[in-house]
Structure 1
Amino acid sequence: MDNPFRYRLFYTVRQKIVTSVVVLALLAWGTVTVVQRVTKPEDRSCAPGVARPVGSEECVGVATAGDGYDFGESRLTLVADAIGRENAALKDGQYTTVALLLPLTSTSPGLREKVLNELHGAFAQQYRANRHNNETPKIRLVLANTGKDNLHWKTAVEQLKNMTGEPHHLRAVSGIATSSTEVRSAVGELTGKGIAVVGTTITADDIANGPGGQPFPGLARVSPTNGDEAQALTRLGPVDPEKTLMVHDTRTGDHYTDTLRKAFSQLLGRHAYEPRVFTSDTDPNAEGTTPLRFRRITQDLCIMPTETVFFAGRHTQLRQFINALGARGCKERKFLLLTGDEGSYLGTDPQLDRAALESGLTVQYAALAHPDAWRARPGYQPPKTGGSAEAYDAFVRALDDVTKEPAGPLGPTTLSDGQAIIAYDAMALAVQAIREATPDGEMIPPLKEVRDLWPDIKGSLKVEGASGWICLDNHGNPYNKAVPVVQLTRGGPRFVRMAWPEGQPPDDECVRMPRS
C-alpha cells in the first residue's frame, strides 16, 4: 500500500516551492564560499612585519614590534623573549633602534649555532648599555630574518629602510655575518639609504671601503679582513713558498673564499706548485662530491715536499679536507694547515674526524675572538695594548647578568667560536656611535651623524672590546685588530697565541694609522 504521507510531504505545490528555494539557497551559499576561498589571498603573515613568502614556509622580514617573536625557531625562543622584555621596558621617544640582520631560519647546523651565540652577545650588550651610568638614548633591539642562505634579504632590507622615522628611529643595523653576494647587496642597499651598518663576522676584503673607493658609505666592521687574517697568520713564523701548497674553492660568488684565496696568493708570491682546486656545491653547506676530490689531493701531498697548506674554502669543505688528510697514506709526514675564521665552525662539528688532528696534522685558523686570548696563564702573558683582560671580564659579567632572571634565562652560550664575543663588540660600536652622535639635550641622533662617526672611533673614542681594541681607520675598517690564532685539537679549539696584521700590537692611544 502506498504511504499516505508521500504526496502530502513531497509533492504538494507548497512543498515543491519550499524544497526548490532551500536547494537553490544551499547552492548559492556553496558557490559564494568556494569563490571567496579561491579569490581571497591566503593569509601568510607570521607576526607584525613578518610573513611567509610565496613558495616558502620560512617567516622572513623584520619583527617590528620587538616583542619577542622567535620566527618559529624554538632554539631562539628564550633570547627572543628576553629581548622582548627589555624592549617593553623602554619609553617612547627615549630610544633608538638597532636591528640584527641575520639568517635566523638557516638550516645549516654550524650557522644555526653561530646565529644563536650572536643573539646572546648582542643582547648582553643591549642590556648592559641600557643600565650603564643611565646613559641615553636607550637601545631597542629588533630581529630581522633574511632566511635560509640569505635568499630573502631584500624583504628585510626594504622594511629596515622605512624604519628610520617614528616610532622606531632605526639608527644602525648589525649582524651582517656572512661574506656572501646576498649580504654584500644588503649592505649596499642599507648604506645607500644612509643607514649605519656594523658588520660582525664579515671578513671579505671586497665588502669594505678603502682608499680606492667608498662603495658602502656608513659601513663599519669589527673583524679583520681576510687580508689581515692572512698577514697575521704568516707573522707566526716563516712560510717557505717552495714547501707550501694552496688549496682553494673555485665556486664563484663567494666573497669569503675569493678574497682569502687572493690574500694567500699575494703572500706566497711566486711559488713552486700550482694550487690544487675544488668546486663546492651551490649550497656550500652541502656535502656534494668534494670528498672524492680531497682524497686525490691528499695523494698528491704525499709525493710532494710540502709542509704547509693554505686552505681557502668554507667550513664544510674544510672539515672534509681534514678528514681526508687524516686518512692519508703517508701518516709519517707532518703538515701544517692554515686557514681563515671558518675554522671556528669545526669546534663542535660532530662529523669532524678528531683523530685526524693527532696524526701529524696541525690545523690552525685565524679566529675573530677567543675566551683565552686576554687571560694570562703559565707561559703566556697577553699583550699590554690592543685589548685587555678587564674588557673581556666586563663581557663575561654582562653575559652572566642576562643568563638569569630578571633579564634571562637564555640557555647555554658557546664562547669558543668567538661569535658571542664579536656580536657583543659590534653592538658596543653601534651604541657608542649612536650616543656620540646625539646632540646635547636631544634624545634621537640625526641619521647622518651616526653614519659619519666611524672615522672618529680611535684614540680616546676607541671601543675597548672583549675581542680587542676596535680602532677604525677613515674607511670604517678595524686597524691592526688582534687576531687570536686557534688550533683545532681532539679536545676542542685551543688558543695558541696572539698575532697582529702589522706584526706587533698598536700603540697606547691607537691613533697611528696609514694615511688614506
Structure 2
Amino acid sequence: MARRGVGTWVRESVWEIPLRRALALLVAVALVTGVVFAVRALAHVDRTCAPGVERPEGGEECVGVATGGYDFGHAQLRPAVRAVARENSRLKPGSYVTVALMLPYSSASRTSLNDIQHQLQGAYLAQYRANHESNGEGPAIRLVLANPGATGGQWRRTVDQLTRMTRSADRLRAVAGIGQSTDNNKKAVRELTRRGIPVVGSSITADDLANGQHGADPFPGLARVSPTNTDEARALASFAKVSAGKALLVYDKPGDPYTRTLQESFAALIKGSPYEPQPFTPPADRSQEGTTANTFRQITHLVCDTSRETDTILFAGRHTQLRQFINALGGRGCQDRRFTVLTGDEASYLTHERDLDRGALGRRLAVRYTSLAHPDAWTADPARTGGSAADFGVLRGLLARSGREPVGPIGPAALDDGQTIIGYDALQLAVHGIREAVPDGRDFPALADVGLQWPQVKGSLRVSGASGWICLDAHGNPYDKAVPVVELTPRGGSRFVRIAWPEGKPPAKECLPPS
C-alpha cells in the first residue's frame, strides 16, 4: 500500500477537525431541542375532562359547564345525566334556549351527592314536561350542568363561561339551582346578576342571599322558590309555639349566610331567654367532621343542666354538625327528659344519612325541621289555597314514567327529602320567566327581559308548583310559601307533621302579596 504524503495528511486534518466540531455541535443542539420539546409537552398536559369542563391549573376537580352527557365521575348521577343528554339531542338546532343547573357536581360528600342527584332529576323532569307536555309552547329548553367546584371555589371561572354562553348560539337565558347558601354561592349569584343573567334559586334560604332586605335589591334578576330563613322561622314558631323560657339556642360561630341568618331568626323568637346561646365552631368546609363532636358532647351536659321546663333546642347549623349533635344527644345523661330539636331545611340532608344514630331518636328526642317540600304535604293536609294534590300529582305522574323511555330512565328517585320537588319547581319557574318574556312575533326572549318577569309571578300568573304556590313579591321572594314541618324517624326517612305558614295561615286565593 502506498504511503500517504505529508501534504495529504495536512489537508485532511484541516477539514476533519472542524467537521467533528460541527457534528458535535449539531448533536448537542438536537439534544437540547429534544429536551425543550419534551418539557413543553409535559407542561401542556391536556386538562380537559369533557366538552366545556376542565381541571384548572393546580387543581384536580373538573369544573365548568358540561354541555354533553358528563357525570363528573359519579355513577349515581349517570342515569339522570344521560336522560338530560338524550333530551338535549332531540332538540332541533336553533329551536331552544339554554338553562344551566348550577350545583357542586364534583362534591365528594355522599350526603351532598344525594341532594344533587335528586335536584338534577327534578330539573330534568321539568325540562321534559316543558318540551313535551306544554301544548307546543316555545322556546324549547336545553339543560346544561354548571359546576363551580365542591365548595364553589371556582365560581368565577364558571360565571365567565356562562356569560359567554349568553352571547353564543347556546342562548343561555337563566341559571337555576345554586344549592346551599354559602359565601361562594353568594358571590356567584352577585356576579351573575350584576352581568344581567337571571337566577332562580332552588334551595337557597339565607336572608342575605335575597332581595328586599331593608329595601335593597343587591341581586337584580334573582328569584327564589324557597322561603327565607326568617319566613321558615316564623312558620316554625306559628307551629311549635316556641317559648323564650323553655328554649336554648345552639349556633354555628362564625357561621355562613345560611346559619347566620337562621341564628338571627331563632334569637328573635326567644328574645329574653334566661339561657346564653351555645356556640360551636365547625371547619370552613362544613361537610367535614372537624372536632365539633367534642364540643357537642360538652353542650349536652349544659342541656341537661337547664331547668326541667326547658324542652326545646333551636339549632342553627349545617347538616354534618346537626348529625353530630343528634348523636351526642342520644348519649346525654338526662335520658329521662324529653327534648325537641327545631332547625331549618338543612336537616333534610339527614333523611338518608347512614351515619346518623337513629336510635337517638327513640330516646325521648324528636328532631323537627322546616322542609322545602314533602310528598305528603298536600295529600295529608289538602289546603284549599297555597298548593294542591293535583299540582303535586303532575310531578308524581312524571316520576312514575321515569323508569323507562321516553321519559327515563333517570335512576332511583326519592321524594321525601324534598330535593327532587324543589329542583322541579326551580326549573318550572325558570321556564315560566323565559316563555313569558318572549315578545310577540319573536321566538326567543332577550336576556334582560327574563328577570323582569319575576314581579309579575303572582295572582293568576303564579306558578303552581309541586311544593306549593309560587307567588313572588316585587323582590323575587315567594310570598307566604307553604312550609312543611317534618320529623326524622327512628326507622329511617322522615314523617310529615303539618304545613305551617309564615303568615300564620294560607294565602288568599288571589295570592297577591300586600304592599
Q: What range describes the TM-score normalised by the shorter chain of this pair?
A: over 0.9
Residues 98-125 of structure 1 show CA distances to partners (whole Å, capped at 9, x for unaligned) of 0011110011111111011111000000
Are residues 123 and 30 of structure 1, via their aligned partners in 2, closer, same or farther at CA, if it must alter by over 3 Å?
farther
SS of match in other structure, 2:401: helix
Question: In the aligned structure 1, how far is the partner of 2:463 from the partner of 2:23?
Answer: 77
Cα distance in 1 for residues equivalent to 2:286 and 2:19: 68
- Residues 1:465 and 2:469 are matched in the alignment: no
For 2:334, the aligned partner's letter is: C
Q: Which residue of 2 aligns with 1:167?
A: 169
Match of 2:210 among 189, 205, 208: 208
Q: Which moved more, 1:198-207 or 1:228-237?
A: 228-237
Deviations 1:433-455 (A, max 9, x none): 10011012211101111111100
In structure 1, the partner of 2:58 is: 55
For normalisation by structure 1, the TM-score amounts to: 0.92
Q: After superposition, where does 1:262-273 map in structure 2 within 5 Å?
A: 262-273=264-275
Cα deviation, residue 400, structure 1: 3.0
**Partner residue, 1:180:** 182
1:251 corresponds to which of 251, 254, 257 = 254
The verdict on how the C-alpha distance between 1:24 and 1:76 changes in structure 2, with shifts beyond 3 A counting, is farther
Give the equivalent residue in structure 2 for 1:237. Answer: 240
Contact 1:93 1:443 in 2 (8 A): no
Partner of 1:453: 453
Name the counterpart of 1:342: 346
Q: Structure 2 CA distance, aligned partners of 1:191 and 1:346?
A: 32
Q: How far off its partner does 1:268 sit? A: 1.2
Does structure 1 retain, via aligned residues, the 8 Å contact 2:174–2:200? yes
Match of 1:189 among 183, 188, 191: 191
Task: Find the counterpart in structure 2 of residue 45 from structure 1.
Answer: 48
Equivalent AA in structure 2 for residue 96 of structure 1: V
User: 2-side partners of 1:162 and 1:77: how far apart?
Assistant: 27
Shift of 1:78: 1.9
User: Structure 1 residues 203, 34: CA separation in 2 closer, same or farther (over 3 Å shift)?
Assistant: same
Matched, 1:119 2:120: yes
SS at match of 2:485: strand
Task: Give the Å deviation of 1:207.
Answer: 0.3
Query: 1:118 and 1:24 mapped to 2: Cα distance?
Result: 65
How far apart in 2 are the matches of 1:480 and 1:373?
15
Shift of 1:267: 1.2
Match of 1:7 in 2: none
8 Å contact kept, 2:480–2:506: yes
Aligned to 2:281: 279
CA pair 332-89 structure 1, distance change in 2 beyond 3 A: same
Corresponding residue for residue 314 of structure 1: 318
By how many angstroms is 1:399 displaced?
Answer: 2.4
CA contact (8 A) 1:251 1:282 kept: no
Partner AA of 1:242 in structure 2: G
Give the conservation status (yes or no) of the 8 Å contact 1:67–1:88: no
- Equivalent in 325, 332, 337 of residue 333 of structure 1: 337
Contact 1:44–1:53 (8 Å) recurs in 2 = yes
User: Superposed, which structure 2 residues align to 1:70-89 within 5 Å?
Assistant: 70-89=71-90
Query: Residue by residue, what CA displacement relative to the aligned partner does 1:21-57 show, whole Å, maximum 9, x if unpaired?
Result: 9987776554333212323522212222211011111
Q: What is aligned with 2:221? A: 218
Q: Note the residue ranges of structure 2 that are not aligned, 5 or more in a row.
A: 1-12
Partners of 2:462 and 2:471 within 8 A in 1: yes
Cα distance change, pair 34–301 in 1 and its aligned pair in 2 (3 A): same
Aligned 8 A contact 2:242 2:269 in 1? no
Aligned with 1:228 (options 202, 210, 231): 231
Q: Unmatched 5+ residue regions in structure 1? A: 1-12
Matched residues in 1 for 2:383 and 2:325: separation? 34
Q: Distance in 2 between matches of 1:26 and 1:425?
A: 69
- Deviation readout 1:388-418 (Å, 9 max, x if unpaired): 1111110012223333123422210121111
Contact 2:486–2:498 (Cα < 8 Å) also in 1 = yes
**Whole-angstrom distance in 1 between the partners of 2:73 and 2:330:** 39
Which residue of structure 1 lines up, in the alignment, with residue 3 of structure 2?
Answer: none
Q: Output the amino acid matched with 2:396.
A: V
- Aligned equivalents of 1:75 and 1:354: distance in 2? 25
Trace 1:272-421 onto structure 2 (pairs within 5 A).
Answer: 272-305=274-307, 306-376=310-380, 381-421=381-421
Displacement after TM superposition at 1:270 (Å): 1.5
Matched AA of 2:484: P
Letter in 2 for 1:494: R
Q: Which amino acid aligns with 2:482?
A: A
Q: CA 1:118/1:33 → structure 2, altered by over 3 Å: closer, same or farther?
A: farther
Deviation for aligned residue 1:131: 0.8
CA-CA distance at 1:237 after TM superposition = 3.5
Give percent identity, aligned residues only. Answer: 53
The Cα shift of 1:72 comes to 2.8
Q: Distance in 2 between matches of 1:498 and 1:446?
A: 38
Quick one: distance in 2 between partners of 1:73 and 1:260? 32
Alpha-carbon distance, 1:16 to partner: 12
Matched residue, 2:437: 437
**Which of the numbers 147, 150, 153 marks the counterpart of 2:152?**
150
Structure 2 contact 398–407 (Cα < 8 Å) conserved:
no
Distance of 2:121 and 2:226 partners within structure 1: 18
Aligned residues between the structures: 496
